[in-house]
Amino acid sequence: MRRWGLCFVPVLLLALFLTAGAAPAQQTLNAYSIWPENWARPMFTEFEKATGIKVNFIRFSSGEALARIIAEKNNPRVDVLFGGPVETHIAGIKEDVFEPYKPPAFAELAPRFRDSQAYWVGIADDPLVFMSNNKFLKEKGLTPPTSWNDLLNPAYKGMIQMADARTSGTAVTRIFSIIEVNGRDENKAFDYMKKLRQNVQVYTKSGGGGTIPVGLAQAGAGIFFIVDVLKTRQEGYDVAISFPKEGIGTSVEAIALLKGAKNAAVGKKLIDWAASPAMQNFYASYKINFIPAHPKVKTEASLAEIIKGAKIFPIDEEWAGQNRKRIVDRWIKEVLP
């Protein structure tokens, strides 16, 4: 008899848990956030304070979030994809996973912060920067790099970390920056990247993956988004921030509504709120070092000081979207090995 009892245990437990996923009755919204939790959570708490709508969310890297959304396409589990470099959202449009929506702030945004068909809306701007370890610079007798060519200096051999274009939006933005500063002469840009490869220690999976190694002087320098760099500095690591004189790209952080979202109405409310100054005014108070997308929101003073005078240009998202796959493939074949 005892053996029969054992067989029933799993069956009972399964039955018990089949009912466990039921949603509570209050007004809630589900989201995948590409922003790290310590930035997304305060935003969603403020949203709940303002509207009474609770946001359940979980954080994924951009690639993981999109892979999930595509896999869940026929039965979406969340309503909104929150944050993340816009190239993720552009890749999603091709997979037909988003629903166009124009929030009230749509018309006020600069064209580069909104999709022409309203599949996504920009909520922040995030430029790339050079970050180097001060101890490393001092030991090698260097100053922080101020030109793309400075990074080719043999003193950096095996000491630069940056992101892998197969997984990271940071890397894709970097590659398009390099193509742009070379006047869209792709061959010239790839020649530069192949030279730079000599100095690269490792290409990391996530965009910010190299920041701690640079902070620890395991690597000397790297190219990262400014939010990751300032976070590293806030953690206490002694790093220098600099910009190349030829210019460097910046990427839009976006938000999008999912096609077939079960709570589409509340999802739209979150998008309304996120695209407006209502949310973006909180960036400064929570020390989130993004540059606000909405023209009426002022950039926090110390962040404005850092980017003052830097030559930052937007990536032409339309051109980038059309050429992304080809260029990443070429990068994998020619630069990575």
Partner 1 sequence: MPDATAVAALNPSDRLRRMLRDPLLLSILIILWALLFLFIAYPLVSLLVRTFTDEGKLSLAGVLSILGDPVQRQALWNSLLLGGLVGLCGTVLGFLFAFTAVRTNLSKGWVLFLDAAIILPLISPPFTTAIAMIFSFGPRGLITYDLLGISGFSIYGLHSTLFSETITFFPIAYLTLKAILSGIDPTVEDMAFSLGSSRWRVFRTVTLPLTVPGIANAFLLLFAASLADFATPLILAGNSFPILPTQAYLQITGLFDLKGGAVLSFVLLVPAFAVFLLQRFWVGRKYYVTITGKVGARTEIKSVPPWMRCVLLVVCLLISASILYFYALLFYASIVKAFGADFTITWRHYHVVFSEGLQAIRDTLIIAGIGMPLGGIYSVVVGYLVCKKEFISRQTMEIVSMINYSLPGTIVGIAYLLVFNDPPIMLTGTAIIIIACYVFRYGPTGIRTTVAILQQIDPSIEEASFSLGASSGTTFRRVTLPLILPAFFAGLGVVFIRSMTAISATIFLISINWTLITVRILEKMTELELGVAAAFSILVVLIVFIVIGAISLFLRLFRQPGAPDMANILGG
| Closest distance of CB 198 from partner 1, Å | 13
Closest separation in Å from C-beta 135 to partner 1? 9
Question: Which C-beta is closer to partner 1: that of 308 or that of 333?
Answer: 333
Q: How far is the CB of 313 from partner 1 (least distance, A)?
A: 25
- In sequence order, the 6+-apart residues with CB closer than 8 A to the CB of 49 are none
If we measure between CA atoms, which residue out of 219, 21, 23 comes closest to residue 133?
A: 219
Candidates 254, 264, 272, 270; CA nearest to 53 is 270
* Cα–Cα distance measured from residue 239 to residue 232, given in angstroms and rounded to the nearest whole number: 8
Residue with smaller CB distance to partner 1, 59 or 294: 59
Q: Looking at beta carbons only, is 34 or 297 nearer to partner 1? A: 34
H helix or E strand, kind and range, residue 283: helix 282-285
Amino acid at 208: G
Exposure of 47 in the CB half-sphere (CA atoms within 13 A): 28
101/237 with CB nearer partner 1: 237
Angle separating helix axes 317-330 and 86-94, nearest 10 degrees: 80
What is the distance in angstroms between the CA of the first residue and the CA of the last residue of the chain? 62
The residue type found at 279 is: M
Alpha helices in 144-215 (DSSP H): 169-181, 186-197, 211-215
SS3 263: coil
Least separation in angstroms between CB 221 and partner 1: 12
Question: Closer to partner 1 at the Cβ: 29 or 255?
Answer: 29
Report, in Å, the least distance between residue 309 CB and partner 1.
Answer: 27
Give the nearest distance from C-beta 85 to partner 1 in angstroms. Answer: 13
Cβ at position 7, least distance to partner 1 in Å:
6
Cβ of residue 45: shortest distance to partner 1, in angstroms?
Answer: 12
In the complex with partner 1, the residue whose CB is nearer, 11 or 107, is 11
Helix axes 37-51, 264-275, angle to 10 degrees: 110
Nearest to partner 1 of 65, 297 (CB atom): 65
Residue 190, token pair as written in the block: 């790839």
**Closer by beta carbon to partner 1, 161 or else 276:** 161
Beta carbon of residue 80, minimum distance to partner 1 (angstroms, whole number): 12
Listing DSSP states for 75-97 in one string gives S-S-SEEEEEEHHHHHHHHHTT-
CB-CB contact of 241 with 129 (8 Å): yes
The position carrying tokens 């980038």 is: 320
Question: Cα-flanking dihedrals φ and ψ of residue 296, to 5°?
Answer: -85, -10
Nearer Cβ to partner 1 (122/209) = 209
Q: Distance (Å, rounded) from C-alpha 248 to C-alpha 175?
A: 10
